[in-house]
Amino acid sequence: MTCHYFIATMRPIEEFHVNGQDDPFISGEAYKKELPFSLPYVYEYGGEGPEFISFLDDFMEFGDVVEFYIYEEGKRGRPLSINLPEEARTINLLKKTYKDENGEYRLDEKEWKEQLARKTIASKRSITTFEKY
Q: pLDDT tens, 7-64? A: 999 998 876 555 444 556 677 888 888 888 999 999 888 777 778 888 889 899 999 9
Helix H or strand E segment including 18:
helix 14-19
Q: Which residues are paired to 97 by β-bridges? A: 92, 106
Separation of alpha carbons 121 and 54, rounded Å: 14
Closest CA to 17 of 46, 41, 50: 41
Residue type, 79: P
Q: Give the start-to-end residue ranges of the domains of the chain.
A: 2-131
Q: How many residues does the chain have?
A: 133
* pLDDT, tens only, 95-118: 999 998 899 999 999 999 888 888
